[in-house]
Chain A
């Protein structure tokens, strides 16, 4: 398919026919049309409009459909370069290299693939490589399963990577586009992960409102980086063997520590840019409630239904949706929960990483009981009935 189209002399890449628009206009003002599509298709439509220079793929369920769709986008000329890597260490290393070259880079993976690529992935933030990784959450532990369980997010929390957690197909479209813009801001210059719970969102259809595909984001300006792209043949911090820059032929702990501090400061600085595109980093429903449900990702949808059913029964339950896990919206969360008496934290994983994050934010600052659950894992979706049951228990 691609051979015949790409070699034609008069072939014009469709991406070249798109018009670059101001991203804020695209997010907030551009007319939008709604389509009923799967999460993978929503991802494709985001990629189509993201002015991507290079995408590197490696298949893994439930991510494969998305990067297969990205292949079609390459064929049509919406992505300038695209190939399938050998496996995830290779893919994650290569995409980091692509970003260092100064182009807009995209990849995607899921659960076990993320784990395999983890060495390379965790080297991205320190190398200050803006890029976007779409992560379709999937069980990683043995016994093998392919259903969504978002424990993998806990492995990324302390890497210095920006991380947004999409609730539904609409979020997957919006967050992905926002992620490119935020990650490439000069005082951010960091990779971004957009996670979504696999299958429940990727393989399910939902309403997605999108601006026209005739528009695209502005291209990446390769020179707008916090630091020069780190070229390992000419590394910026390996010019001197003297203390305090170097210790033996490795970087000294002074340098490494300050480098890390700067990475994590950049994560915090990114908040203002996320807000520019996504509004507040949390969404609050029933702010004056005494009992709250705090959640992220697809679990928020289940919590919405629980809150709706409680409302029908005449009981007010609050809901907080956390859009970005990194930066962690500490101040907003604290403000929203200052009068809460009980807080439920439903999650799609065994570890309860969201509960732990919340506890460290709220410890000593509010008096509410922070209930560790309910949790489902191994790929089960959270039945609304379980949240309702836990709410009833919490009220007693």
Chain B
């Protein structure tokens, strides 16, 4: 049983990285696992590489709040450019982060922050994890487009929610969708759907594999709830 009541997750990344999709996958997985969730994306003109944020609330209890998360306890940074090039709606990227908050950053190595940032993150007791999400995506799914899946897998491992079965079901919802189940269509229509389905099933598998690889990465590194020593929770 989770003793933490709720996680308020702010995701930041670049247009095209699937930040908004990631928030839907995470949110939907929590709902599938009988939890509660709400989310709202924030972006300007839709273009590649422009800043994107998405806010997801997840909890094992009912959630009332909606809208932007100004005071998150979890940050997911999908690209180092959010920090190093300031491609973000929130500067510095940890603005509003609650004490002992979780920060998951997609990068192969720790980022060198300016002294003020280092100090402030230390004062907040931020727990920073670096995951090579794009690298895992390229290796496992053969496409960097699965970076967002890796981020979802890693954060689920760190927070201990949602469970992996619900995550997989959520990814399936995304690719196969509830509506594509054949319903009394003609034979011709069936065969078109089957062809599409085969391609989508392949995509689904690659994405699920990437997600699980990142999940395992976080478990292997003993992050979050998998830590050997009891880590302080980050309840609101």
Contacts and interface: CB of A to CB of B under 8 A. Distances in A.
Interface string B38-58: 111110000000000000000
Nearest to A167: B66
A384 B66 contact: no
A302 B66 contact: yes
A204 B39 contact: yes
Nearest to A312: B5
Contacts of A147: 42
Interface residues of A, number: 24
Nearest to A300: B64
Interface string B200-235: 000000000000000000000000000000000000
Interface stretch (A107-115, A357-365, A375-383): A375-383
Nearest to A168: B66
A147 B42 CA distance: 9
A204 B71 contact: no
Given A204-B40, A205-B38, A381 B71 contact: no
B166 to A, nearest CB: 13
A201 B70 contact: no
A200 interface: yes
A29 B199 CA distance: 43
A385 B70 contact: yes
Nearest to A199: B40
A205 B67 contact: no
A374 interface: no
Main secondary structure of the interface of B (DSSP, over half): mixed
Contacts of A206: 38, 66
A198 to B, nearest CB: 10
B60 interface: no
Contacts of B27: 205
A381 B41 CA distance: 13
B169 interface: no
Contacts of A305: 63-65
A43 B37 CA distance: 20
B88 interface: no
Size band of the B side of the interface?
A: 10 to 19
Contacts of B40: 199-200, 203-204
Contacts of B176: none
A383 B64 contact: no
Contacts of B66: 168, 200-201, 204, 206, 298, 301-302, 381
B74 to A, nearest CB: 16
B17 interface: no
B39 to A, nearest CB: 6
A36 interface: yes
Contact of B67 (A36, A304, A382, A385): A382
B68 interface: yes
Interface in A185-223: 197, 199-201, 203-206
A380 B68 contact: yes
B70 A308 contact: no
Contacts of A168: 66
Interface centre among B63, B65, B67 (most CB of A within 10 A): B67
Contact of B38 (A148, A204, A308, A382): A204
Given A36-B31, A201-B66, A381-B66, 16 more contacts: A36-B28, A197-B67, A200-B66, A200-B67, A200-B68, A204-B66, A204-B67, A205-B37, A205-B38, A206-B38, A298-B66, A301-B65, A302-B65, A302-B67, A308-B64, A385-B70
6 contacts: A36-B28, A201-B66, A204-B66, A205-B24, A205-B39, A298-B67
